[in-house]
Amino acid sequence: MRFVTKILTIMVSVLLAATVCSSCSQNMGDAKSAVSLSIGNKIAEIRKAVESGDVNAQFHLGGIYAKGEGVEQNLEQSVFWCRKSAEQGHTNAQLLMGSAYYHGQGAKDYSQAFAWYKKVAEKGYATAQGYIGSMYANGIGLEKAYGQAVEWSRKAAEQGGWLAQFNLGLAYYKGQGVDKDLVQSLKWLSILAKSGDKTVVKKLDEIESQMTAAQINQARALAAARKPGRNRDG
């Protein structure tokens, strides 16, 4: 459990700034009045919302315990409230639980990671969909299933997920889960070319060396014509 706690401490802190407590916001008013509240009053408002069953407040309280913000740092309480929020459907909390189990230092639990990511992926969020696709493609914690890998990677790639776009490009290149198609492979990888990532650039050169000039131009045109997808993560 210690590795989950450590990862959650970091990740809750990162997401906390973007978390909105609906019940708290009703009681605190606008942003200026919220800032003016003392830490003690802020925590009191959050606890009040927690008692009413507000899952956003539960997630927020987990972050407060993780950071030791106005309270003594208590990582067990942080995990408790984050998990409680996740179990009631809070998307950020579910994503955190998945990442904690996936990236955990020492012992990892990929089956738990998959279960939490799947809950978020089914809501349409690209980050979780990308992880699900990658786990299927690489057999991480489960048997390889290239068809499932392509299905989930495509969902995320259409939303602009970097990992998913790369994996989908590789799937078309290798013919794993789809018919081999160098044009489609180069299309997806070309979308990533602006990043300058050395792995992407190397793979692009490898693929282009096997294509005609007409195929390369077709792939680049498809990449340029592609409209950015609506990423539910952002």
Could you count the other beta carbons within 10 Å of the beta carbon of residue 76? 10
Q: Are residues 97 and 10 in the same domain?
A: yes
Q: Are residues 98 and 161 in the same domain?
A: no
First to last CA, the chain: 30
How does pLDDT run along the chain (234 residues), one tens digit per residue? Answer: 554 555 555 455 444 434 434 444 444 444 444 444 577 788 888 989 998 889 999 999 988 988 888 889 888 888 899 999 999 999 999 998 999 899 885 568 999 999 999 999 999 999 999 999 999 999 999 999 999 999 999 999 999 999 999 999 999 999 999 999 999 999 999 999 888 889 999 999 999 999 999 999 999 999 999 876 555 554
In angstroms, the CA 234 to CA 230 distance is: 8
The amino acid present at 79, given as its one-letter code, is: V
pTM given for the model: 0.78
Q: Are residues 98 and 130 in the same domain?
A: no
The predicted pLDDT at position 231 comes to 57
Residue 158 belongs to a domain: yes
The predicted pLDDT at position 233 comes to 57
pLDDT in tens, 92-132: 999 989 998 998 855 689 999 999 999 999 999 999 999 99
Could you tell me if 105 and 3 are in contact, meaning their C-beta atoms sit under 8 angstroms apart?
yes
Could you tell me if 105 and 2 are in contact, meaning their C-beta atoms sit under 8 angstroms apart?
no
In angstroms, the CA 102 to CA 88 distance is: 21
Q: Are residues 83 and 168 in the same domain?
A: no
**How many domains is the chain built from?**
2
Which one of 73, 103, 133 terminates a domain?
A: 103
Q: Are residues 6 and 45 in the same domain?
A: yes
pLDDT in tens, 195-221: 888 999 999 999 999 999 999 999 999
Which residue range forms the structural domain that includes residue 152? 124-225
Q: Are residues 135 and 82 in the same domain?
A: no
Q: Are residues 53 and 88 in the same domain?
A: yes
Q: Are residues 211 and 138 in the same domain?
A: yes
Q: Are residues 88 and 153 in the same domain?
A: no
Structure tokens at 25: 């916001």
Q: Are residues 88 and 163 in the same domain?
A: no
Q: Are residues 141 and 59 in the same domain?
A: no
| CA 201 to chain centroid | 24
